[in-house]
Amino acid sequence: MSDRNLQSAIQKIQQATQMIPKAGIILGSGLGGLSRQIQSVAEFPFEKIPGLKTSHASGHEGRLILGYLQQQPVIAMAGRLHRYEGYSSDEVTYPIRLIRSLGAGVLLASNAAGGLNPKYCVGDPIILGDHINWLGQASTEASPPNVRDQSTGFLQSGSNFYCSQLTSLAISVAKKNDFSAYVGTYLGTLGPTYETRSEYRMMRRIGADVVGMSTLPEVLLARRLGMKTLAVSIVSNVANPDSPSTANHDEVIRAGQQAGSKLEKIIRAVLDNLDNQVA
């Protein structure tokens, strides 16, 4: 995406508010209810922001909201863009560039995902500790030298995409509020399709705990831009490869809505501790 679009987007937002967000929040399928808890100071439909594409996925409102939650300045996306909508990785991650450019140093990303681990239940929050990237393309945005190998140009890998402090905090919130949450591995696929029983078996065997069609492009760019990241999957259905069943998007949205209070508790706790997370 062009720097001209980015500068125009920043200018448009700053004309509406001089608030500098500390955290960016991405609310995935069925999880947009938290956006209505934000004390809004400015809101924009995605299509009104220069360079930002329109979300066509069901359950994604397509609004950018600046305001206060837990008395902290935040910028929230009620909905997101997906590769399966025909957008490139750079188009999908453009909001991350914008969020970071406006000042946010922490990214809180959420999604609804299929459960592969048989111990999970619908509505459980899974805190991403690692991922398997099957989306086939990382963002082409330039990376800081400390994240990209200078001899090969490859993005450095490992399990450091997700902030361990935020992960521990999320798990402690679940224990304190008496609901289940686990640290797991997210498998990102291009979609748009739900998995066959054989695919479920394969994904579980290679170490995936949940599977979805988003989040990884955003996390990859956020890490390159030096943001601390917490990503949470809400289990929308649990795979049973030995029993025929059909997943559908309405089921995904309902699960997200029902589990919204758990996600809200986690995000509010992170914001309460935000001053300890932002350098």
The residues carrying an active-site annotation are 29, 60, 82, 84-85, 112, 213-214, 237, 249
Residues 6 or more apart whose CB falls under 8 angstroms from that of 186 comprise 113, 126, 128, 130, 131, 132, 208, 209, 210, 211, 212, 215, 216, 231, 233
Beta strands in 46-124 (DSSP E): 63-69, 72-78, 106-115
Q: Is the peptide bond before 125 cis (omega within 30 degrees of 0)?
A: no
Distance CA 180, CA 125 (A): 7
Residue type, 269: A
